Amino acid sequence: MAQTQGDWVLGNYKGAGYWFPGIAEKVGNGKVTIRYDDGDRETVAIGDVRPYDWMIGMKVECNFKGQGEWYPGTIASLAGEKIGIAYDDGDKETMKTGRCRSR
């Protein structure tokens, strides 16, 4: 769980079961306000937040070329908000982390 403001976290956006990266902007009263890497903001229960744990080799789903379709792949590189993905179908792409999610 995010304990302090400024932590990089994963939030269960809209409680849909997908975890998106963002920054904990405000923490208090059992709630966390997250500014997601794609620009969205949301205040959620602390139970809907977990530490950012993405690493090279981890499986994620990403929005290929920002066109709205989510495809499975593996993190090939990671540097701040930049992520390189090797998709399961053989395609590769580098993008901002805000276009990816984990389960």
Domains of the chain in sequence order: 8-51 (2.30.30.140), 59-101 (2.30.30.140)
- For residue 47 the two structure tokens come to 């139970």
Q: What is the pTM of this model?
A: 0.89
Q: What is the mean pLDDT of the chain?
A: 94
What's the pLDDT score for residue 2?
A: 46
What's the pLDDT score for residue 68?
A: 93
Residue with tokens 């993905």: 85
94, with CB counted inside 10 A (0-12, 13-18, 19+), is: exposed
